[in-house]
Amino acid sequence: MRLADSLQILCVASVAIVVAIFLADGGAAKFGTPADAFTSLGIVAGLVGTDLLLIMLVLAARLPPIDRAFGHDQAMAVHQSLGKPALYLILGHAALLITGYALAENVNVVAETWNMFTTLPDMPLAFLGLALMIGVVITSLVVVRRKFRYEAWHAVHLLAYFSVLVAIPHQLSVGGLLRDGAIARYYWLALYAAVAGSIIVFRFLLPVIRSLRHRLVVDRVDAVAPGVASITLTGRKLDRLRATSGQFFVWRFWADGLWWQAHPFSLSSAPSERGLRITVRGLGDASKQLPHLKRGTRVSFEGPYGLFTENARTSLRVVLIAAGIGVAPIRSLLETVSFAPGNATVLLRSHNLGDTYLVDELTDLCRLRGAELRIIAGKRPQGVSTWLPADAVRARISLSTIVPELESSDIYICGPRPWTDAVVRDARSAGVPKKQIHYERFDW
């Protein structure tokens, strides 16, 4: 909790600092005329918007402190929520500055835009960065994102790094706030360097070093159902990864047609020094090839990530709820999570019994550990936001009627985003505190 609070304070402080930089440079006195007011507001919008962009990049850099404090799911939720405000501020930065300069020079905004583009140093790069940023934010909208293949969306999203980089020169060459020799300039450059260093170390260097050290390879591929397979990986000194049940890695399989793509998959059994196992469902072009991997295929990875673990526990009782391939981390948790016999319930949700994966393993684990297993099958009713099948909705069944001890339980939920959100709403309406609800959503 202290770590989470400290990181939140640091983020708020970073925004306050950039505003203070503007004020320390005499910004408060630069509102005397309409032209000055527009220009000053544009500068502040640009400073705050850029700061939010850097925070977004840090949240996506998978830094261990952020992962320990918030978990990957929550960090990325905040990352996504900052996208629109950051874009609006950067757009406001451009519009306000153009208006302010146009008023000062007594020309229209079209003429001023052209003048800025052609006469001010590094402005073409700034406009390019803005265009790229607009593209990234638009493709991140859920409605738009679902029309893209993951690989295409991911390629477009990488342009976010480029959009930030190409905007740096104009920040240093246009205007006097970040002039050469000013303390603000050194702070701004240090901020960029810290963010870039975090991305390089934790997104690139550390994964490469760990992958080379542990030498993971595919040991076995077992069919679970049509299009679903469990992949067992072996390597060296895997205990040093300190992975725990419920966590996920980002995997890259070095096989034809797969090596250039990386995808997140959760562990589907408890990790050990001997090996790791994931269970995947072929939903995209790449994942459809995974059940056909050859033994000995090299594997590189990032991780482990996530707070979907025993460490999040607050209660003696536990409820594990999964839909579809979300059963993977639930199955690994069931293997190691601590509870007394009779104090655990496992709920599997599917359209029909054929969509329930790893059910034999879960049945054996529940019998061995004294947990109750329930399979809830059936299609959801149309036009109703619920995680339950239509017959259960008509019978007024809810999560609290299925699990009477719900309020005194920790609830782990894993499945598609809309379904997971519906389970969370059901749990919250039953009076379960937020701190007892833990979830991972299969979405991108």
Radius of gyration, alpha carbons of the chain: 25
The mean-pLDDT minimum among 144-153, 191-200, 386-395 falls in 144-153
What is the torsion angle, in degrees rounded to the nearest 10, for the CA atoms of residue 328, residue 417, residue 420 and residue 311?
A: 60
The predicted structure's pLDDT at residue 441: 66
Q: Quote the CATH superfamily of domain 215-305.
A: Translation factors (2.40.30.10)
Phi, psi of 248 (to 5 degrees): -130, 160
CA dihedral sign of residues 122, 128, 131, 133 = negative
Strand 263-266 to strand 216-225: parallel, antiparallel, or no bridges (unpaired)? Answer: unpaired
pLDDT, tens digit (0-9, with 9 covering 90-100), for 375-414: 999 998 988 889 999 999 999 999 999 999 999 999 999 9
Domain ranges of the chain: 2-208, 215-305, 310-442
Which pLDDT band, with edges at 50, 70 and 90, does 1 fall under?
low
User: H-helix or E-strand containing 193?
Assistant: helix 183-199
Nearest to 373 by CA among 403, 398, 401: 403
The mean-pLDDT minimum among 255-264, 322-331, 339-348 falls in 255-264
pLDDT, tens digit (0-9, with 9 covering 90-100), for 236-246: 999 999 999 99
Which pLDDT band, with edges at 50, 70 and 90, does 166 fall under?
confident
**Two structure tokens written together for 160:** 């976010």
CB distance 366 to 334 below 8 Å: yes
Q: Is 277 exposed, middle or buried (0-12, 13-18, 19+ CB in 10 A)?
A: buried
The DSSP secondary-structure symbol of 267 reads: B
The DSSP secondary-structure symbol of 381 reads: P
Residue-averaged pLDDT of the chain: 89
The predicted structure's pLDDT at residue 143: 46
pLDDT, tens digit (0-9, with 9 covering 90-100), for 121-138: 888 998 998 888 888 777
What is the percent of the chain with per-residue pLDDT over 90, rounded to a whole number? 59
The CB density around residue 15, as the number of other CB atoms within 10 Å, is 14
SS3 230: strand
User: H-helix or E-strand containing 44?
Assistant: helix 34-59
State the Cα–Cα distance between residues 53 and 63, nearest whole angstrom: 16
Tell whether the model's pLDDT for residue 151 goes beyond 80: no
CATH class belonging to 310-442: alpha beta
Q: What is the mean pLDDT of residues 4-8?
A: 80
pLDDT, tens digit (0-9, with 9 covering 90-100), for 76-97: 888 888 888 998 999 999 999 9
Rounded to two decimals, what is the model's pTM? 0.84
The predicted structure's pLDDT at residue 133: 84
What is the percent of the chain with per-residue pLDDT over 70, rounded to a whole number? 93
Tell whether the model's pLDDT for residue 71 goes beyond 70: yes
pLDDT, tens digit (0-9, with 9 covering 90-100), for 9-46: 888 899 999 999 999 888 888 888 999 999 999 999 99
The predicted structure's pLDDT at residue 276: 97
pLDDT, tens digit (0-9, with 9 covering 90-100), for 53-63: 999 999 988 89
Higher pLDDT, 70 or 266: 266
User: H-helix or E-strand containing 251?
Assistant: strand 248-253
Q: Which amino acid is at 27?
A: G
Find all residues with CB under 8 Å of 331, minimum gap 6, and list them.
268, 269, 279, 322, 358, 361, 362, 365
Q: What is the mean pLDDT of residues 186-214?
A: 94
Which pLDDT band, with edges at 50, 70 and 90, does 120 fall under?
confident
Q: How far is CA 328 from CA 253, 357, 418, in A?
A: 19, 8, 18
CB distance 349 to 323 below 8 Å: yes
CA dihedral sign of residues 115, 118, 122, 127 = positive
Q: What is the mean pLDDT of residues 264-271?
A: 94
Higher pLDDT, 6 or 277: 277
Strand partners, 305: 248
The DSSP secondary-structure symbol of 379 reads: P
The predicted structure's pLDDT at residue 286: 64
User: Residue for token digits 């909790």?
Assistant: 1
The predicted structure's pLDDT at residue 285: 61
| Long-range CB pairs of 183-188, under 8 A, 24+ apart, other chains included | 184/21, 184/24, 184/25, 187/17, 187/21, 188/21
